[in-house]
Structure 1
């Protein structure tokens, strides 16, 4: 049987959730049916080295999305691509236009990953994205909440959207926890009787680590604890200054981006997410997979779906550091049997998002789209 050639297009295989999702889909595609191609702009991405060796990987000779259209169109045409898959609005737009300009029979499948919108300017822009999205062959939303947002703000019809949750590679997570070790200079942080709270994500306004620092300061007054922050971003200096003002700087550890965050999650007593908005929250599912209890903001729209409205982890209001601190203290104060039960429950939930299951749904969509 002729293999279906799927071209994955993304800005770069960097440290974000979109790149990690593509990595999990690409690596778990059935090679008996599909031939994966990956195209990025001319950036070095931290996940590139984790791609399987048989992936046909092309970097465009540009770092500007707007200049990638004709180059991408040529690749689609010359490689006789069957399906072009992309994620993130601007990248989706470029992928759709490039596919049209390739004058090939390739189908466009796009994925929407976040709850965008708010200001009139942004909402108008999303309507523009929606007009281009309608030129695609299939739209995928990574959660029911994001689907609702696509209908409301992008003016997409409900019947044109399929919901597929993010895949997490449980097998790879377990291997990384078993075969790797903490960075030598970080081991002392976890060699303590203090409770360890951890978070991971870009240090940007959306992730709202300011609220986490405020909540952690309250927690630390009642329970000796340490806060580990994985991730990089423009707000790092501001967050460090805030930690100093709260007199917790010696208990907050900014460890930057870690290629293997799972061994860090595994060593922690609690994973906390304080985002203002999320599409799905890949990192919550990964934390559950490492056996780490979760407390998250109930932001639109991912966390409540991953945690099934609080069944598998605690949810609190966005920006409410008092409620967040109370939820954190409740989890950190649980006895061993309660903690064990919480961990086992969380791992069962993580299995719902196993890449082996989720990627099969993507495969079905690719094949169905080709047959439209």
Structure 2
């Protein structure tokens, strides 16, 4: 990038290849900027391009990463623009700015509307984190207009002029390239629909499995492949067993490159109950003409050609999947037009312009 480009540092909690981390990686790559992670994961990490400077605060635990972060930030205390994601980390950095340790400008990205997602003690902990840290933040980036409305409503003490909307980036060229890699032999001749994400309740995979159970007899050769790992795996395995779907619903685990699955699936499904905005949805839209999504986040209902279902509703999702599978889709031009302004370069340029 030009020599006048400000010095940037991107920080996340781990280098796990999740949606928020992928957004930061895309922005860092487009900016040729440094990356800092509180903890390095053992498996399922991001594929970091050669040439990017990456540091890991800890290889042991996230807590140790937080404890050692102050020292790790020594080089970046002044003269940088720091970009982080995840509310606890954002708040921690904002607090360091409030007490004067961190003098670099701070941009934080909201990965989800956590104050509408959780209750009880966990919600209270987020409220406390926001109160302590976010007044020190220079700019807050929300993924959708509805997320910004939730944020400003729940946090009225944050100046609304510091809260902007910027759509998630997507690297179309890279997605198309990685989609050309062959599927593993076990899936090459399989007829399947595909979903992907962390195995957590918010992703709605229990709903998806039950919806698939509703349509399984209509499509006797069809399988459901779910790509991902997470704490809900045992619960999902029991549900699959109880519904006698062991031969039809496959938990593939973490997959380093899910793009070939998205491209070759009969349909792709996002079954989430609540999201900021599911980044995997953009990847699916680029590669597959049949994409079903629940109305789990703002702006999804504006996507041309998408098949929309109610969130947390088995019957709605089953009906929508069935409708999509019997429809001939012709929406490629509309989809490409929808995502053409979402490049990583546009993403970071727009945010830096808003900071000024």
TM over 0.5, shorter chain: yes
Which residue does 2:349 correspond to in 1? 360
Shift of 1:62: 6.1
Measure, in 1, the Cα distance between the counterparts of 2:233 and 2:64: 32
Q: What are the equivalent positions in structure 2 for 1:1-372 lying under 5 Å apart? A: 1=3, 3-29=5-31, 31=32, 36-44=33-41, 50-61=47-58, 63-68=60-65, 71-79=68-76, 80-99=78-97, 103=101, 105-117=103-115, 118-131=118-131, 132-155=133-156, 156-178=158-180, 180-190=181-191, 196-224=192-220, 225-299=222-296, 301-302=297-298, 305-308=299-302, 311-334=304-327, 338-339=328-329, 341-365=330-354, 368=356
Q: What TM-score comes out, normalization by structure 2 length?
A: 0.89
Shift of 1:44: 2.8
Which residue does 1:193 correspond to in 2? none
Measure, in 1, the Cα distance between the counterparts of 2:34 and 2:47: 15
Shift of 1:124: 3.5
1:220 to 1:98, Cα distance in 2 relative to 1, 3 A: same
1:2 to 1:75, Cα distance in 2 relative to 1, 3 A: farther
Measure, in 1, the Cα distance between the counterparts of 2:60 and 2:148: 30
Shift of 1:64: 4.7
Measure, in 2, the Cα distance between the counterparts of 1:198 and 1:277: 19
Contact 2:225-2:252 within 8 A present in 1 as well: yes
Shift of 1:46: 5.9
SS in structure 1 at match of 2:238: helix
String of CA shifts for 1:227-286, please: whole Å, max 9, x gaps.
110100122222122122222221112111111111100001211111111001111111
- Once the two structures are overlaid, the 10-residue window that deviates more, 275-284 or 127-136, is 127-136
Contact 2:112-2:276 within 8 A present in 1 as well: yes
Shift of 1:101: 5.9
Contact 1:73-1:102 within 8 A present in 2 as well: no
Shift of 1:130: 2.8
Which blocks of at least 5 consecutive residues in structure 1 are unaligned? 191-195
Shift of 1:26: 0.9
Measure, in 1, the Cα distance between the counterparts of 2:44 and 2:101: 31
Contact 2:17-2:45 within 8 A present in 1 as well: no
Contact 2:215-2:318 within 8 A present in 1 as well: yes
SS in structure 2 at match of 1:345: helix
SS in structure 2 at match of 1:41: strand
Measure, in 2, the Cα distance between the counterparts of 1:52 and 1:45: 18
Contact 2:98-2:135 within 8 A present in 1 as well: no
Runs of 4+ in structure 1 displaced over 6 angstroms? none
Shift of 1:319: 1.7
Measure, in 1, the Cα distance between the counterparts of 2:225 and 2:59: 36
Measure, in 2, the Cα distance between the counterparts of 1:62 and 1:261: 26
Which blocks of at least 5 consecutive residues in structure 2 are unaligned? none
Measure, in 2, the Cα distance between the counterparts of 1:197 and 1:230: 11
Contact 2:204-2:273 within 8 A present in 1 as well: yes
Shift of 1:307: 4.4
Shift of 1:215: 0.7
Contact 2:183-2:260 within 8 A present in 1 as well: yes
SS in structure 2 at match of 1:8: strand
SS in structure 2 at match of 1:60: strand
Contact 1:13-1:46 within 8 A present in 2 as well: no
Q: Which has the higher helix share?
A: 1
Shift of 1:2: 5.0
Two-structure CA RMSD over aligned residues (Å): 2.4
Measure, in 2, the Cα distance between the counterparts of 1:102 and 1:78: 15
Contact 1:77-1:103 within 8 A present in 2 as well: no
Measure, in 2, the Cα distance between the counterparts of 1:39 and 1:184: 36
- Once the two structures are overlaid, the 10-residue window that deviates more, 276-285 or 241-250, is 241-250
String of CA shifts for 1:155-212, please: whole Å, max 9, x gaps.
333222011111111111011123x22123332434xxxxx21100111111111110
Shift of 1:107: 0.7
Q: What TM-score comes out, normalization by structure 1 length?
A: 0.85
String of CA shifts for 1:42-67, please: whole Å, max 9, x gaps.
32366766323332211113645554
Shift of 1:153: 1.9
